[in-house]
Amino acid sequence: MGTAEADLQNGLILIRSHIVTYGHAADADITERIRAEIESMWNAPLSIVVRHGHSLQVRFVITAMHTPALQPEEVYYNTDPRNNYFRIEKTAAGNISSVDGLGSNTGFFLLDNLYEGSTTAAHEYGHTLGLPHPSQIDFRGRGTPPIMCPRGTLVDAAFQYNSTAAAGDNQNGGTMHPRFREVKDADIQALKLHRKISFHEPVIIGDFSSIWHDA
């Protein structure tokens, strides 16, 4: 979730989000890793959106804070659309990281999913902006997989956990390794900023799920 605003003077659309982490496995270092991954990956396409004849480059401005003393009421009653609250623990239901629906601002991250270069935070951030998984998950012959591909996606051998495994062989690494995902221009365009952006005030991307997660 975040806000989007047009900066006509500098030819930009600025998308601002703030990541708040809590939980037993959260700390300042992992919080900065999440922030940096989201910002760098989502800015990588250098995408241009045209709105009313103005060509504007999309720029993501991501801030973050580890907040160990966060209270449930701060999540429930938050009214800042930039805030996204993620609990981080060493164990998670289903052994996966997830957010609370498309366009949400809360979620639960598994620590093991947040290693350097994992792309997990960038993927889940896409969900907070309202982006779903692709309708089909066979990306063989299409190069690097886009950021919203889920685990289990079929990809060219070079992008599998095990490049020698048969495609689709889950037991031997024949599916996409998440570290190969990239944010592509198509992911930015899927946000439909050309329809949403206002030249007068920031607009909200996503919505308030406002769910507190227990350990």
pLDDT digits (tens, 9 = 90+) for 143-186: 999 999 999 999 999 999 999 999 999 999 999 999 999 999 99
pLDDT at 215 over 90: no
- Which pairs count as long-range contacts for 154-160, CB under 8 Å and 24+ apart, including other chains? 155/180
pTM: 0.96
Domain ranges of the chain: 2-131+191-205, 141-182
What are the beta bridge partners of residue 62? 17
What's the CA gap between 176 and 180, in Å, rounded? 8
Q: How many CB atoms lie within 10 A of CB 185?
A: 14
Are 64 and 30 in contact, with CB atoms under 8 Å apart?
A: no
What's the CA gap between 215 and 117, in Å, rounded? 25
Rounded to a whole number, what is the distance in angstroms from the first to the last CA of the chain? 23
pLDDT tens-digit series, residues 36-53: 999 999 999 999 999 999
pLDDT tens-digit series, residues 15-32: 999 999 999 999 999 999
Q: Which residue has the tokens 């020698």?
A: 164
Rg (the chain; Cα; Å): 18
Lowest mean pLDDT among 15-29, 55-69, 88-102: 88-102
The pair of three-digit structure tokens given for residue 156, joined into one six-digit string: 């060219």
The pair of three-digit structure tokens given for residue 121, joined into one six-digit string: 């935070």
Are 109 and 145 in contact, with CB atoms under 8 Å apart?
A: no
